[in-house]
Copies of this chain bind each other. A is one copy, B any other.
């Protein structure tokens, strides 16, 4: 079956499902989204693309940004990064302090909040203009300069971010933070507060399907070895405390954001982005996971 038909089937299937998920409402700005949005964009390594629904509408990428920041940090500082953050699944919720205490301030992986904050701290130390440079990198990957920070969302995150403030202060007490707390959080919240469409995300993440090369230009953006590593981390840690359930159902390395976005990568084949804002109790897009399960079942394409 071809991807065009598969996307149609998934779209119909997802329309029929009674979706009991809830949109993220921990910050007022995110709670304003239309909960019934559904978009999907699939991009193959042959530069063919397939899309359906609200695939051209922007949404808050939230934790999807953590893959980008990890990518930049990996390229810029390499192995030294792994002294400050581990690559193991976390076993507890994404913002847990207990695990961080047990592990003496070294976060379990770069995709839980504590880990992404360490990565932000790393970037702050090495980039000239961190906030500008970060956006520039994404725009370049997406071949699109119409991608922006949403300042309202960034501010809203900051105003209600007591738990992240706790995490960063705790790590600073344990000597795993170099820069000023406020500067790190400001940068971190901006990363989360980028608005992108499914298409823009698919283009950005396509390097992980295409051995580090941009599909449009064949330019090698990051090394194939880095891609292998980052995909392994996405597989093991991309879904917080349910990576197993997700690998089990989705069959592909994937990352989710509380904005309802999911990006999944079939290495050497394609990247797919799904957006549906209603989340299950663990904070993952209900329909997103369902759509992905459909996709791997219908296409017969799973890394397993």
Contact = CB atoms under 8 A, between A and B. Distances in A.
A235 interface: yes
B166 A303 contact: no
Contact of A91 (B89, B181, B267): B89
A87 B244 contact: yes
A54 interface: no
A148 interface: no
A84 to B, nearest CB: 15
A87 B248 contact: yes
A243 interface: yes
Chain A interface category by residue count: 35 or more
Given A166-B166, A304-B232, A97 B101 contact: yes
A115 to B, nearest CB: 11
Contact of A243 (B89, B102, B172): B89
Which of A87, A236, A242, A245 is packed against the most chain B CB atoms within 10 Å?
A236
Given A173-B166, A244-B87, A232 B253 contact: no
Contacts of A173: 162-163, 166
A109 interface: yes
Given A101-B98, A267-B303, A304-B253, A86 B244 contact: yes
Contacts of A241: 88
Interface in A96-155: 96-102, 108-109
Interface stretch (A38-46, A57-65, A223-231): A223-231
Chain A contact surface mostly: helix
A132 B263 CA distance: 46
A250 B165 CA distance: 36
A165 to B, nearest CB: 4
Contacts of A90: 91
Given A228-B251, A303-B267, A243 B88 contact: yes
A38 B170 CA distance: 34
Contacts of A244: 86-89, 109, 232-233, 236-237
Contact of A304 (B109, B172, B181, B228): B228
Interface in A232-260: 232-233, 235-237, 241-245, 247-248, 251, 253
A186 interface: no
Contacts of A248: 87, 229, 232-233, 236
A242 B82 CA distance: 14
Contacts of A237: 244
A238 to B, nearest CB: 11
Contacts of A102: 98
